[in-house]
Amino acid sequence: MRSYLPILTLPLLQLPGATARVFTVVNTCSYTIWPAIYTDLTVAQNVPQFPTGWESPPSTSTQFTVPDNWKSGRIWGRRNCNFTTNNGPTSCLDGGCNGGLQCDPHSGTGTPPATLAEWTLQSNGSFDFYDVSVVDGFNIPMSIIPSATNCSTASCPNDLNAGCPSQLVGPTNSSGNTVGCKSACEANLDNNPTNSANCCTGSHNTNATCPASGVQYYSYFKTSCPNSYVYAYDESSGTALWTCNSALNSDYRLTFCPPPYGGQAPAPISAVPASLIPTSTGTSSGSRTQSASSSASSSPGFKSSALAPLRFPMAPGALSVLGVVVGWLMVMV
């Protein structure tokens, strides 16, 4: 018997003749997350008419629409958030953003380490580009499943925090457990973010001069999550950046904590209560307060900056890694 997923759907106002895709965001984690949305407005002004942040308790889902030509957009998860007195990047233990509950539409990118789901729809009118990126490090497992049956799944379904190499360990919770695993670039392992083989910057800023073999801990991330985008030029792996024919008008399902390979089926899913989703959209401040089950502590990370893609239709890897480098420069000055 076919089962149906209970979904909370908010209306989207569309211009005459405009079309949209349906996005479903599901939390099958055992803990509450605060999903967030960010669109690089320097690329395009097509943004989802949906709050840029909301609360999603375990085993809940939310459904909304995004423009058919959404460009350079990303969704990620935040954990252990408390927006009562703090609307800045440290309002969450990991993945926090400027703006608090609702991430600022101009500067509200997530603080690394954070797993990112990235899209550019209808690139050149022909293809959707999408990926699950750990270029900014890892915090929560996720997968992207297109509704079009002949399009591939992008994913990082395994928890990389438990085995995170000591040099890459990011924030930890009150029990001392790692809840974020940095990339080698973010961890600044070669102590030169402007000329780094880990960041693909300076003399390493081409595919030829920045091979995967020169990126520290590349194999840790790629072996655990082979269908994810691991570093700036990971397209050469053939399992980093995924495409789906735009003519298929595929919808997308983003799942946090999907069953890992051989894992168990998730618990029954219910709709996110309407009271947990702000009624306003695209605000620049966290006007609504949400308290986490535990207080957030200051997490290490870097200031984020909205950056245009550097290459490829979306260039998610380059966009992410340059954000880390700019963060380093902002910290240093």
Cα–Cα distance for residue pair 79/95, rounded to 1 Å: 7
Q: How far apart are CA 297 and CA 318, in angstroms?
A: 29
Q: Tell me what the mean pLDDT of segment 65-75 comes to.
A: 96
Rg of the chain, C-alpha, whole Å: 18
DSSP state of 125: T
Report pLDDT for 281.
59
Is the distance from CB of 27 to CB of 56 less than 8 angstroms?
yes
pLDDT of residue 267: 64
Which two structure tokens, joined as six digits, stand for 227?
A: 């269908």
Q: Of the CATH numbers 3.40.50.1820, 1.10.1200.10, 2.60.110.10, 1.20.1260.10, which one belongs to the domain with range 1-11+18-333?
A: 2.60.110.10
Per-residue pLDDT tens over the stretch 87-109 = 899 999 999 999 999 999 999 99
Residue type, 39: T
Please identify which residue in the block is written with the tokens 């909205």: 306
Give Cα separations from 316 to 21, 195, 308 (angstroms): 20, 20, 10
Averaged confidence pLDDT in the chain: 82
Lowest average pLDDT, out of 9-13, 114-118, 253-257, 310-314, goes to 310-314
Name every residue whose Cβ is closer than 8 Å to that of residue 140 and which is 6 or more positions away in sequence: 29, 33, 76, 77, 79, 94, 95, 114, 115, 256, 257
Condensed to tens digits (0 to 9), the pLDDT of residues 208-267 reads: 999 999 999 999 999 999 999 999 999 999 999 999 999 999 999 999 999 874 445 556
- Model confidence pLDDT, tens digit, residues 8-58: 444 434 443 347 999 999 999 999 999 999 999 999 999 998 999 999 999
Confidence band, pLDDT 50/70/90 cuts, at residue 164: very high
Q: What is the pLDDT of residue 306?
A: 27
Three-state secondary structure call for residue 276: helix
- Residue 117 has a pLDDT of 98
Q: Quick: pLDDT tens for 41-50.
A: 999 999 998 9
**pLDDT score, position 265:** 53
Nearest 5°: CA angle at 254, between 282 and 64?
45
Q: What is the average per-residue pLDDT within 290-318?
A: 31
Cα–Cα distance between 330 and 327 in angstroms, integer? 5
Residue 280: the pLDDT is 65
Cβ atoms of residues 64 and 14 within 8 Å = no
% the chain with pLDDT above 70: 76
pLDDT of residue 179 exceeding 90, the answer is yes
Q: Three-class SS of residue 36?
A: strand
SS (H, E, C) 220-271: HHHHHCCCCECCCCHHHHCCCCEEEEHHHCCCEEEEECCCCCCCCCCCCCEE
Over residues 117-126, the mean pLDDT reads 93
